[in-house]
Structure 1
Amino acid sequence: MLTSKQRAILRAQANGLDVVFQVGKGEIDDALVKSTADCLAARELIKMKVLENSAYSAKEAAAILAERTGSDCVQAIGSKFVLYKQKQKESKYADLLK
């Protein structure tokens, strides 16, 4: 669980990130969860977008994906949300979050 100070630091880091995945009108299936988990393992901090025709809001999609990938939802604003999962080794955000 992230503290509010840690969330603020991660929000600042995520500000310049590009969207890596989009949640469309289909369900959040195992393929999307696996792709998200793989991307989190490589990058730690990712930004995602929910399309207008999706059945999910950004907060709903963020909560589902965070739960199924074991990550933390940093923020959900408008149609975008940010997820974070710290690496076990060589985390580039570990020093910032102390």
Structure 2
Amino acid sequence: MFEPPILDQLMGVGALLIGFAGAYRHIKLQEERNEKERQEEQEFASMIIKGYNHAYERGREAERQEIRKNIRRPFKGFTYDNEPPVGLRPEPLALPEPKMHILK
């Protein structure tokens, strides 16, 4: 049986080690790229959420300012408390008395 010389065997093992090291480096760089892209996406989403929360809070503050402005203005009360309604028919308190013309 033919066995290759020791130098050829060492070169084969060296080539395998260099191949494995290259594959490891390639996988490691690809994982780092994927991690960096994922982190950038998370930062972008976080920035969008912060902007939305800021706009929402500004809207809430505008509503609060409007409420404060309404509270500070003079309140003259409801119209029904100050004067009776005009143009509305009076509400019936009870049903009208039944006519008993049949029994008479």
State the TM-score, normalized to the length of structure 2.
0.18
Structure number with bigger Rg: 2
**Relative contact order higher in (CA < 8 Å, ≥ 6 apart):** 1
Structure number having the greater strand percentage: 1
State the TM-score, normalized to the length of structure 1.
0.19
